[in-house]
Amino acid sequence: MASSTEIPSIALAGDISIPQFGLGVFQVAPEETIENVRHAIEAGYRHIDTAEAYGNEAQVGQAVRASGLDRSEFFITTKCWNDDQGYDSATRALKTSLGQLEMEHVDLYLIHWPAPSQDRYVETWRALIEAQQAGLARAIGVSNFQPAHLRRIIDETGVTPAVNQIELHPYLQQAGLRREHADLGIVTQAWSPLAQGLVLDDPAITSIAAEHGKTAAQIVLRWHIELGNVVFPKSVTVERLHENIDVFDFELSADELAQIEAVDRGERTGPDPDEFTRP
């Protein structure tokens, strides 16, 4: 079992650090969430990525409290959904999320999608800036933002998001956006780090796994860690929770990293951020 102290942290603006590895709870049913998060905490996870849209914030909060550990040991992220965008509604949405979580603050609050056709992400960003100043979110960031969306919020408010949470896995490596993040000082969070399982049969990845005596999932997660991405694979399977966090005792060689770089297909599993606006 990995202990949480083995998990590296990455510094965010404002003297906050984020554990580079955690648990995602998208598509975890509310009735499964308490047990899922409890098992994860027992396995050493301290960073949980949820969202208002996942419908399980309340259960995440309950599991954190039930652990008996101090709130300060956890890093909790939640997100503002598309139909809550706008200055007033985003301000209300964060308060609703905090009510669901039964927490006084989140560690990170994100705009879930830019939803550019609504054209409200700049005023939404202003609401997040004020929420951070009010202490309701220790850090603020965005998700699924393209370079033009990032530059616009930075130009119009002067505040750079701490993170951009984007779809990123071996079949969608996002080299251009990662370079943009590095230039702007934004930490990259990789959602669907395993491409929801699609990359786990890739021959390049399974052969590296065989070399190391590790699983394909562990190779992919280790690749993310070495790239500097923050990851939070989802699993409701207890053995996989343990397997996924057990990636801090080996390294990939430059040649292995190059082999994984070569499997990129520029292939999304999720929606196109320039188009997606589902309310």
Q: Which residues are catalytic?
A: 54
Q: Which is nearer to ligand NDP, 137 or 217 (CB)?
A: 217
Asked if 149 and 121 count as a contact pair (C-beta separation under 8 A), the reply is: yes
Helical (H) or strand (E) element with 18: strand 16-19
Asked if 65 and 90 count as a contact pair (C-beta separation under 8 A), the reply is: no
User: In the window 195-254, what residues touch ligand NDP (CB under 6 A)?
Assistant: 195-197, 200, 215, 217, 232-237, 240, 243-244
Integer CA distances (angstroms), 162 to 12, 46, 141, 188, in order: 6, 19, 5, 9
Out of 90, 98, 140, 194, the residue judged to bind ligand NDP by CB under 6 A: 194
Q: Which is nearer to ligand NDP, 131 or 221 (CB)?
A: 221
CB 233, min distance to ligand NDP, A: 4
CB 258, min distance to ligand NDP, A: 22
Q: Which two tokens stand for residue 219?
A: 């190779």
CB 245, min distance to ligand NDP, A: 10
Out of 25, 139, 142, 230, the residue judged to bind ligand NDP by CB under 6 A: 25
**Which of 87-95, 123-131, 149-157, 187-195 is the region at the interface with ligand NDP (rule: CB under 6 A)?**
187-195
Helical (H) or strand (E) element with 165: strand 163-167
User: In the window 96-155, what residues touch ligand NDP (CB under 6 A)?
Assistant: 112, 143-144
Q: Which is nearer to ligand NDP, 81 or 136 (CB)?
A: 81
Q: Dihedrals φ, ψ of 48, to 5°?
A: -125, 130
User: In the window 38-57, what residues touch ligand NDP (CB under 6 A)?
Assistant: 49
Out of 141, 161, 170, 193, the residue judged to bind ligand NDP by CB under 6 A: 193
DSSP 33-96: HHHHHHHHHHHT--EEE--GGGT-HHHHHHHHHHT-S-GGG-EEEEEE-GGG-SHHHHHHHHHH
Q: Dihedrals φ, ψ of 139, to 5°?
A: -135, 155
Task: Assign 3-state DSSP to the chain and report helix, strand, coil percentages, each to 5.
Answer: 45, 15, 35
Out of 192, 223, 225, 245, the residue judged to bind ligand NDP by CB under 6 A: 192
CB 143, min distance to ligand NDP, A: 4
Integer CA distances (angstroms), 211 to 79, 169, 250, 251, in order: 39, 21, 12, 12
Positive or negative CA dihedral for 90, 93, 94, 95?
A: positive
Residue of this chain nearest to ligand NDP (CB atom): 24
- x/- string (CB under 6 A) for ligand NDP, residues 63-102? ----------------------------------------
The binding site for ligand NDP (CB under 6 A) comprises 24-26, 49, 112, 143-144, 165, 191-197, 200, 215, 217, 232-237, 240, 243-244, 270
